[in-house]
Structures are given as C-alpha cells and as structure tokens.
Amino acid sequence: MAAPSLLNWRRVSSFTGPVPRARHGHRAVAIRELMIIFGGGNEGIADELHVYNTATNQWFLPAVRGDIPPGCAAHGFVCDGTRILVFGGMVEYGRYSNELYELQASRWLWKKVKPHPPCSGLPPCPRLGHSFSLYGNKCYLFGGLANESEDSNNNVPRYLNDFYELELQHGSGVVGWSIPMTKGVVPSPRESHTAVIYCKKDSGSPKMYVFGGMCGARLDDLWQLDLETMSWSKPETKGTVPLPRSLHTASLIGNKMYIFGGWVPHKGENIEASSHDCEWRCTSSFSYLNLDTAEWTTLVSDSQEDKKNSRPRPRAGHCAVAIGTRLYFWSGRDGYKKALNSQVCCKDLWYLDTEKPPAPSQVQLIKATTNSFHVKWDEVPTVEGYLLQLNTDLPYQATSSDSSAAPNMQGVRMDPHRQGNNSIVPNSISDTVNSAKIEHTGMKGTSVKNKPDFKALTDSNAILHSSLSSNASNHNSCVVDMLRKNEGPHTSANVGVLSSCLDVRTVIPETSASSTVSGAQTMVTQQAIKTESSSTNGAVVKDETSLTTFSTKSEVDETCALPATKISRVETQPAAMPFSKETPSNPVATMKAVERQWCDVGIFKNNTALVSQFYLLPKGKQSISKVGNADVPDYSLLKKQDLVPGTGYRFRVAAINGCGIGPFSKISEFKTCIPGFPGAPSAVRISKNVEGIHLSWEPPTSPSGNILEYSAYLAIRTAQIQDNPSQLVFMRIYCGLKTSCIVTAGQLANAHIDYTSRPAIVFRISAKNEKGYGPATQVRWLQGNNKKASLS
C-alpha cells in the first residue's frame, strides 16, 4: 500500500445516467465491474435498486420484478455470485424487519425467501445495524439493534450480540437458520459495527473479524471468531488502533481489512467516560489491519486536515465496495443540523487504488501485416491505462540509451473516464476501432445481438489468448505433422468466431453466448455456451521464463478492430514454432540472447493497440515531462521508427493505476508478415451434425493472390504426446478448395484432448497460394471438464 502522503484519491466527476439521491444507511456489493446499491435513507427510506458501472461510468436503474422488498436502511446485504441477499433493516422509523429477500441479478428478479427456523431457539428478531457476512454457502449474522417496544413510535432500543448461521442452497434459495454453539467470551452487544471473513491462502480456518460499533458508547475493540471451532477471541494487535467508531465501513482486499470513516468521539473527549450523551462527529480517517500480522497501519489520521478537497470529506453511514484492488466510496452523511433536525448527506463518489495493478497477460496477436500488428491483452480491472513496449534485434535508426527500465509511473494521473481515443499520452499510437456490432453465436446457431450500453456481466465474455499456429511443411505430402509448441512457423492472426465450444490458440478464439442488454440495462448472466477461435499473423509467441502454455482470460472489447461477423469466446495460447520451409525466414527471426533496449509503443487507455511504429530515445538523453506526479517520456519530442516486414518483435505490457505502474507481463514475440504469402483463414465456426461436426471458415482477408487450396488438421492422440504433452501431433483431415469440411465422429474419437488450459480439441487451418502455405489459424474446441471428447 502506498504511504499516506502518496494516496491518490480520485473523485468521479464525469458520469451518465440517473444518479441516486444522497443518503446514508444504504448498502452496496460488487458483481464484477458493477456496484449495486440498495436502500438507505434521507427524507424517507429509499426502495430502489441502483447500479453503477465502474467501467463505463454509468448509473442505471434496472427494471426489477418479482417480490420487490420494501425500502430499508442499515440492513444486511451480501453477494453470492450473481445473487444478492437482503436481511432485516429499518423499514420505517421505529419499525425493523427480519425478512429475507433474494435478488437474482441475472434477471433482476426479487424473491422473498423463508428459511426454516433453528432446531432449537427462535429465528433472528427484527433488527437494524447488524453485520451479515458470507463465506462459502453460509451467511453469518451478528448483533444489531432491536426495538423492545411494540409501538414503533416509542422506540426502546436493545443492543444485541446473538449469532446465527444461515445455510444457502446452491444457486437460489436457502435452507434455514441455526444457532451455533460458540466458545470463549462473546463480544459485548453492539450495532453499526463491521464484520469481514478472511482465510489465509495456505493454511488456517476462516475467521470472522468484528470491529467497533455502538453500545451507548462507540467501540474500538476487535474480535475474532474461528468459523471451524466457533471460538471467540480478542486478538492482540500492533500499531495504532483507529478511534472508537460506528457507522464506518470495513472492506477486505487481500489480507487487509480497510476501515474508513464513521462516527467518532469529539477531539479531546475522554473516551473512557463516553456515553450515549457525548458529542460525536464524522471522520475521514483511513486505516487497515493486516490480518496475517495483526498490525494496524494508519493511512489518513484523524488529525490530518484536507484543505484541497483531495480526498473524501468526513462521513458516516456511507457504502464502500472493493472491485479488484480498488475501493469505491459513495454518499453517507457528514453531519447533523440540530436546528433543522436533519442530516447532511454527501452525494460524491470516490475511489482509491490500494496497490499497483498486477501484470497483465502476455500480449496477444489479433492480426499482423507486413508492417503492423493489431495486438491485445487481457483487461486488468480498475486500471487507468497500459504501457506497451517492444524491442527487436534489428539495429535502431537512433541509438537508444542504456536504460531499459520503464518510466516511473508512481501517482500518474489520467482521466480513466475519457471517451474516444485509446491513447492517453499525446502522439502515442492509438488503437483502431471497429464500429460493427458484435454478435455472440450460440451452439445451435442462435444469434444474440449484443449492443450494450454497459459491459455485459457474464462468464462468457469474449476471450483471446495469443498462441500460435503453424505453417505445416510439405502440406501436400504429409499426413501427420509433428508441431512442437516451442518451435513452429509464424502464424497470421485474424480473430474469427466460433459457435459451440471452441477455443483457439494464437490461433484461438472461443465463443460463448453472451448476455443480452435491453436499452440502458445490463443483465448479469451465468455462463452460457463455450467456444473459442482466433488466428495469428506471423506470430511467434515466446515466454522468456517458460515455454509452457498458459490460460488467462481477457475480454474482447466491443470496439476492438475484429473482423466483422461474430465473436464469442476466444482463447489463445502462445507457442513458438519453426518457420515453414515454404516461408522464407528473415535473418533476425532467431532472437538473440542479447538484452535490447525496451522502446515505448505508447500508453493506451484500452487493452488493444494497432502498432506500426515505436519511439526511440536519443543517445544519452531522455526527454521527460511531468504527467501528474510521474515522470513519463514526452512522446512528441521522440523519434519514431516503423515496423519492418518479416521481422520479429518482442512485446510486453504493464498496467497503470493511481499507485503507479505495475509489473510487466511475460514477453510475447511476433513476426511481421512476409509479402506474397496468404494470411490465415478467419471466422472459424463449429457446429454439430449427424456425422460429427461441421468445421467452416472464411478466406484470408489478405490472400496475396489466388487461394489454391486449404488444409485442415486435427491434433490426435499418440504415445509421443502422452510422454510430452507440450508436443502436438496433427493429422490432416481435409485438403481442398472449399471453406468447410466434415469432421467425422470416427476422427474425433482419435482426437487429443489438450489440457494446457481448459480441456479442448485442437484444429488448425491454413491457406495456400502460388507462393505456398501461409500461417494457420488454430482453434481449440472446448470440451468442459470431461476427460473424453464428447459431442453431447
């Protein structure tokens, strides 16, 4: 975590859609990039559900239906996948609830659920200000405030410290309440406290951590409940404990529990003598507890004043949501006007990056030409840009400096909500945009048009992993080609489409039916149909630390310059292969071990780029300008160099957020195309028929003459593959002029199932012109988790 002085808070000032009215006592959860807010109060209790898309800066009101719950405040609110549970809360002044509602966010469908009562004892009484925490298939309810009076106008508060367990059914519904028998001293009764559940990765049982709250006086105690032994304890901590508080938020990111805001005693107040009659005020202090070391760290102290409005002002009853390693804070109350007997609520939205972003996936090739690459990489959540770099063994036209380090991006300020050009820094290479609609094709040929105003929430986001397909030598004579993943011909990348279950390596796209979006409303969906396909132009992908394949996901943005037609789910994996005998190799194709100067291609807002040039640093000189708090090159002062045909280039990319630049990705290597050879076939599709499957494709976008024939190959099972899974053996299953073929059930019975990422059957397709065969498109047809290929 950055030091307190280096925290880079961002206030979101540019957004669209119906912004909810300011409030306090509301709750929020995150489903992927969506922040979903419900309830709260300010001049009446709110009953609407609001959604904020953090990726597009859009607010929207989903059209909910079903058993819509009444508005409530200070309720329990947890998220399990794409379903949300709401328990209890205040429904009107003095009247509290103990009802349980479930929201299926995939359909925005509310349902009132009735859990079975405990075997012994009563179910939870109506309450507010309780904690309601999810771990696995259980929710844990602790404490809160009840009203002892039957008259809602005559509020007789009773603080609670009871503890309940709610067992959930998978997907939807609940089983019932139980009252676990706990050991040790139980925390004192309280309300408006927080609770998070954390489990160490390598060892240990899950533990629930309860902090602070209110019980006549505000509390600063920390309690731990081991959820396996059901033992309460009070852990010893190091560092400065935050002031006693209530109505604060606690957010878990990694092994840290972040505490922000809340009501605290007035400065100089004798905390020991605190009572419910004491003066109290809001705070903007910010601390975290390392749950592995039990040490508190103060990031913003209670005494630090903010005269520049550079961080959220003091508040309580706000909401906080963690999306990735970024914390979002919205609304809350920042004071109380006694004369008016009213709350003063904030309406501002802030976020804070808690650590530098992780390394993106390897750079993946979408398409290569003789003098450009269209590349992408997996999207990293909640970042503000990406630094793309390359190097090559060709001598540069300008002498580079010795430093190969990336510029220091600590605290770089960008506008993550800027529309339009992908490139953030002036004069960097911008990406190209395809305005064509993207259609997601399902297995049975059902086409679902997807033109979202918001990013669709689905496990079947389009994916592209760059891998590489081969140029098979002697296509006409060979029946079985040995193609090793660490040596093989360059490939030509156009992203195609697959219906059904495909996954394609650097030649690989994968398809999956994605969610539909109606109007300005996003549907959160479960995963639909899997497929992948993609291809590669002149791709030689190497991982300098390991030549093994990898499997990481990335979302193909709707604005990606992909071939018109359909994209579903695309996955590609890097694999370097030998150059074909029919393809003249360039002298620089074999990369030397000499470490070259990394040159900037530019800083990009999105996870795609069209690369035709890169920037050179003058000998012994770096032209630097200030961007925010960071030193980055002033690209307008640097010379540019064009890409050269038939040349290998290494790429790496790093993500940038408010904490600076993160680590670089593993290195990928691609080769620009050699003029004269055909490109790779594109838009691969797979559909089932009575004979087996129907495999089809589109001709190369750059045939470089007449296409004489196509060849399709299937990876088959052999003893060699069993001994060395990194080595694939391909059998040619088709050769001809047609752009489709039938793969019989008998041929599929001999197919090798590749487990380098998700289980898949691997195909390769390439085209031949007068000069010879060009690069191939490799397709991985996803097979689920079965060990055997199946057409079912």
Q: Which pLDDT tens digit goes with each residue over 1-15?
A: 544 445 889 999 999
pLDDT on residue 473: 32
pLDDT on residue 776: 83
C-alpha to C-alpha distance for 511 and 163, rounded to whole angstroms: 46
pLDDT on residue 522: 35
Residue 239 pLDDT class (50, 70, 90 cuts): very high
pLDDT, mean of residues 373-384: 90
The position carrying tokens 């004979």 is: 691
Q: Is the dihedral of CA 62, 64, 69, 71 positive or negative?
A: positive
What number of other Cβ atoms are within 10 A of residue 698's Cβ? 17
Tokens of 750: 């001999």
pLDDT on residue 432: 25
Tokens of 480: 């079985």
C-alpha to C-alpha distance for 538 and 766, rounded to whole angstroms: 13
Where is mean pLDDT largest: 106-115, 337-346, 636-645? 106-115
pLDDT, mean of residues 409-438: 34
Please list, in sequence order, all residues whose beta carbon lies within 8 angstroms of the beta carbon of residue 569, skipping any fewer than 6 positions away: 460, 461, 462, 463, 498, 502, 503, 509, 510, 511, 512, 530, 531, 532, 782
pLDDT above 60 (res 286): yes
Residue of higher predicted confidence among 230 and 486: 230
β pairing state of 109-113 and 65-66: parallel
Residue of higher predicted confidence among 4 and 476: 4
pLDDT above 50 (res 781): yes
Residue 631 pLDDT class (50, 70, 90 cuts): low
pLDDT on residue 595: 53
Where is mean pLDDT largest: 143-147, 150-154, 371-375, 534-538? 143-147
pLDDT on residue 620: 53
pLDDT on residue 785: 53
Residue of higher predicted confidence among 549 and 284: 284
How big is the CA angle at 665 (ends 660 and 666), to the nearest 5 degrees? 155
Which three-class secondary structure state does DSSP give residue 721? helix
Residue 343 pLDDT class (50, 70, 90 cuts): low
C-alpha to C-alpha distance for 129 and 155, rounded to whole angstroms: 15
- With contact defined as beta carbons under 8 Å apart, do 374 and 606 qualify? no
DSSP-assigned beta bridge partners for residue 66: 110
Chain centre distance of CA 591? 33
The position carrying tokens 């075997």 is: 119
- With contact defined as beta carbons under 8 Å apart, do 414 and 421 qualify? no
pLDDT, mean of residues 17-40: 97
Residue of higher predicted confidence among 508 and 96: 96
Tokens of 75: 């309720």
Residue 506 pLDDT class (50, 70, 90 cuts): very low
pLDDT above 80 (res 563): no
Please list, in sequence order, all residues whose beta carbon lies within 8 angstroms of the beta carbon of residue 599, skipping any fewer than 6 positions away: 389, 390, 391, 396, 400, 614, 615, 616, 617, 641
pLDDT on residue 726: 59
pLDDT on residue 75: 98
- With contact defined as beta carbons under 8 Å apart, do 318 and 331 qualify? yes
How big is the CA angle at 612 (ends 610 and 617), to the nearest 5 degrees? 115
pLDDT, mean of residues 18-38: 97
pLDDT, mean of residues 80-100: 96
The position carrying tokens 């903010």 is: 306
b/e code 597-622 from CB counts within 10 Å (16+ = b):
bbbbbbbbbbbbbbbbbbbbbeeeee
Largest CA distance in the chain: 93
Residue 679 pLDDT class (50, 70, 90 cuts): confident
Which three-class secondary structure state does DSSP give residue 665? coil
Residue 728 pLDDT class (50, 70, 90 cuts): confident
C-alpha to C-alpha distance for 309 and 324, rounded to whole angstroms: 25
Chain centre distance of CA 584? 41
Residue of higher predicted confidence among 314 and 542: 314
Average pLDDT, the chain: 74
pLDDT, mean of residues 758-765: 89
pLDDT on residue 596: 73
How big is the CA angle at 229 (ends 226 and 235), to the nearest 5 degrees? 35
pLDDT, mean of residues 56-73: 97
How many CA atoms lie within 13 Å of 637's alpha carbon, on the beta-carbon side?
A: 10
- With contact defined as beta carbons under 8 Å apart, do 681 and 700 qualify? yes
pLDDT, mean of residues 560-567: 25
C-alpha to C-alpha distance for 207 and 235, rounded to whole angstroms: 12
pLDDT, mean of residues 269-297: 78
pLDDT, mean of residues 709-738: 85
Residue 289 pLDDT class (50, 70, 90 cuts): very high
C-alpha to C-alpha distance for 778 and 550, rounded to whole angstroms: 15
Residue 554 pLDDT class (50, 70, 90 cuts): very low
pLDDT on residue 217: 93
Element spanning 408, H or E: none
pLDDT on residue 420: 36
Where is mean pLDDT largest: 63-77, 340-354, 454-468, 618-632? 63-77
Single-letter amino acid code for the residue at 125:
C
The position carrying tokens 């925005």 is: 108
Where is mean pLDDT largest: 416-430, 481-495, 562-576? 416-430
pLDDT on residue 102: 98
Element spanning 745, H or E: helix 745-749
Q: Of the given ranges (42-51, 429-438, 599-608, 732-741), which has the lowest mean pLDDT?
A: 429-438
pLDDT on residue 502: 37
Residue 199 pLDDT class (50, 70, 90 cuts): very high
pLDDT on residue 344: 84
What number of other Cβ atoms are within 10 A of residue 52's Cβ? 26
pLDDT, mean of residues 179-191: 98
pTM (whole model) above 0.75 = no
